Structure 1
């Protein structure tokens, strides 16, 4: 038997596609629940935010480890990289990729507070729509509503991390060699955007994996509050 039958009924309504029609009923249900002593708003929002905070912490800790990122040059640049290796310049390619990956790992640590601040700003309405969604519903919603803004804030963090690892110095050396190679139709090597895009995608993916694990065992992998929100 499900606990908090009133809350469950409210959440079932959120599955309807026409949320505008459902909203008045959600408000009524919320008020009735509050009158009965259940602060559904704060409990739901708190539980969802805690899931994302915990998932972000664990994802950041995992991806900050050396070797967590294994980015290679983008597919469009690999023929050129292969040519460089064949001509004896493979060490330059390896150093560039190494600096690229170490920069992505360092950026994850620096960016964690930025992501968590975005989680904190989520509204109660957001929480109502994702508490009973799929395994990565919270992460998907979070990404869909914050990615553009987060990318703008993430970019300087990635740039600073790449600078620390010597990425730009390696990049210039590779470009200098690359430009002299007898390769027709040379691809654009905008590696900075490539690192930003891939590291953000990897971070969101890992946050989603952590969310899925929490949903499967909310108390053991999360907390009592999360367990109450996701209990059957």
Structure 2
């Protein structure tokens, strides 16, 4: 009799655990619809822009942040090495720094572009995105907006190159390199390169905030964030 009772208790306990596991995978039971979940995802992305992307606008926001620091493209690494070999290391350092300065300056002008992109994005399958990995919403935003953001952001970067003097410094660098005997001339499109790197940096920082909201309940500072992200805990 005792054995039967013990088996029954174990069966019930196992069944309850399995039922709980199944229940945990059904977010619809919470009553939150797709529109509410989408609003929560947008709010998380907005927090990423407000709390993380704004850090990039400060002096050295890119240059001293190893997550997003813009390094030289492959074709310019030989330029950097050649300048250092002939004693122009300080010029090479300045060249790298102004690329990051241009990105920092451009982000100040471009932040409204990212805010608008978040407001306009439609999460067709918000529940799956919510239950995805730590930066699913950020990845979704990037995939849906990167091309359009590039077109808007590129002229901002070009203008920032002029504002921080990066265009003059890099013209000087490239001319000095091209004058070195036995080197192949280079003429890289730095505006295109920095645009892509700056956009990558923006999405990296937005993703950092999304991960924080997903993994740290204390970061959910609004009712909407608490309500929506509780589903993926």
TM-score (norm 1): 0.78
- How do 1:122-161 residues align onto structure 2 when only pairs under 5 Å count? 122-161=121-160
Secondary structure of the residue aligned to 2:124 is helix
Partners of 2:82 and 2:106 lie apart in 1 by: 30
Quote how far apart the aligned CAs of 1:39 are.
6.3
Partners of 1:167 and 1:85 lie apart in 2 by: 19
Partners of 1:68 and 1:103 lie apart in 2 by: 11
Q: 1:83 to 1:53 in 2, by over 3 A?
A: same
Secondary structure of the residue aligned to 1:66 is coil
Partners of 1:126 and 1:9 lie apart in 2 by: 13
CA RMSD of aligned residues (A): 2.5
Partners of 1:40 and 1:8 lie apart in 2 by: 12
Give the conservation status (yes or no) of the 8 Å contact 1:107–1:161: yes
Partners of 2:204 and 2:186 lie apart in 1 by: 28
Name the counterpart of 1:8.
26
- How do 1:190-229 residues align onto structure 2 when only pairs under 5 Å count? 190-218=189-217, 220-229=219-228
Structure (1 or 2) with the larger CA radius of gyration: 2
Name the counterpart of 2:61.
68
Give the conservation status (yes or no) of the 8 Å contact 1:56–1:112: yes
Partners of 2:78 and 2:24 lie apart in 1 by: 60
Partners of 1:218 and 1:161 lie apart in 2 by: 38
Partners of 2:26 and 2:117 lie apart in 1 by: 27
- How do 1:94-109 residues align onto structure 2 when only pairs under 5 Å count? 94-109=93-108
Divergent runs of 4+, >6 A:
none
Q: 1:108 to 1:218 in 2, by over 3 A?
A: farther
Quote how far apart the aligned CAs of 1:7 are.
10
Secondary structure of the residue aligned to 1:215 is helix
Give the conservation status (yes or no) of the 8 Å contact 2:157–2:195: yes
Give the conservation status (yes or no) of the 8 Å contact 2:82–2:177: no
- How do 1:179-194 residues align onto structure 2 when only pairs under 5 Å count? 179-194=178-193
Quote how far apart the aligned CAs of 1:218 are.
4.2
Q: Mark the runs of 5 or more structure 1 residues left unpaired by the alignment.
A: 12-32
Corresponding pairs, count:
205
Secondary structure of the residue aligned to 1:231 is helix
Partners of 1:115 and 1:231 lie apart in 2 by: 26
Partners of 1:77 and 1:123 lie apart in 2 by: 39
Q: 1:179 to 1:185 in 2, by over 3 A?
A: closer
Quote how far apart the aligned CAs of 1:147 are.
0.5
Name the counterpart of 2:177.
178
Give the conservation status (yes or no) of the 8 Å contact 2:174–2:187: no
TM-score (norm 2): 0.78
Q: Mark the runs of 5 or more structure 2 residues left unpaired by the alignment.
A: 1-18, 64-69
